[in-house]
Structure 1
């Protein structure tokens, strides 16, 4: 019912004398009907109008000749700032740590953390089982670099593959990484007995790398074995 029809209906109806509260209730009830509600602006209409008003407020006096260019200039400035930030800071690394999932580790499906692997290596060494101690210590080294999202391992990654890629992130430790990868291969595949000295060497490398800041992180990340 349109407002005009409402007025006509009220005129044609028997005369009544509602009080103020009753009259207000009648009007609210009538305006709450679907035809009136459909005519109200939606939230999208309101947002669009607010944006349009904001862009309109950016105009300068027409006499300057730049009235219609200000919004375009603002957009261009924002785009330029984004490009400059990208060139200066590089691409954003969002949720780098979320990419790490414990799993394949030198031929075994191992979900233990680096801390758990270190503890296992320590227990094995205390029992005189240096074969296991060296293996677990080297796995701890690899797992801590994966947890730091520096070097990842995947099914098929060998100790030598890992050492080569880790050397790019930690060039000062390249020779030790290669040597400790050799110790891992000896006790795991070649039946060479492990020693206390070998275990201490791998453990010392793990401690050293853990305290270092990696270099060439992006280069190593790009070569993750898939």
Structure 2
């Protein structure tokens, strides 16, 4: 059986509103993702999807519960240790790409490699390899404003893969794309999952995207439930 690369055990997270009202977002969420899986998480707005992804991606700290990345317990790590864990173990893909507008596609993909201390020649070679992998090697010198939404998302996926993370977390990766571009991005992620063994957890409201997953989970009332069929 393949190793568990991401695990959440009985995770709770609440937010305090400006009025002092406490709003529970996660109420005992449990999740186990194994290497090479493609998992989709669905749920309506306000169900806790984004909160869950922020906690899984170590961008937010749970109020209670346990969280493991590659078998390493992360609750209790300090900010520097969490940053290092995010850099080395987790790739992120966002709905609005989050590319740096003044940088080229190549430079955007190189960013995590720079942070990881990879030497210039090796990181340039790695970034070009990734742009080829996602199907846009000829876009290396283009800035985000010179690319379509689908092309920008391909750059974002390449950047997420730069440091060979244990898992890629994708937050509504097709939410800002038209139907054709959405299909292409889903096909790309599925291809990377199948051919390279990349592990994906995709949060989406798009049921067509969810149907492409190996496993579908629904978040409801702050908990996760397996979905047999949509």
Relative to the length of structure 1, the TM-score reads 0.22
Structure of greater relative contact order (alpha carbons < 8 Å, 6+ residues apart): 2
Q: Which has the higher helix share?
A: 1
Larger radius of gyration: 1
Relative to the length of structure 2, the TM-score reads 0.22
Q: Which has the higher strand share?
A: 2
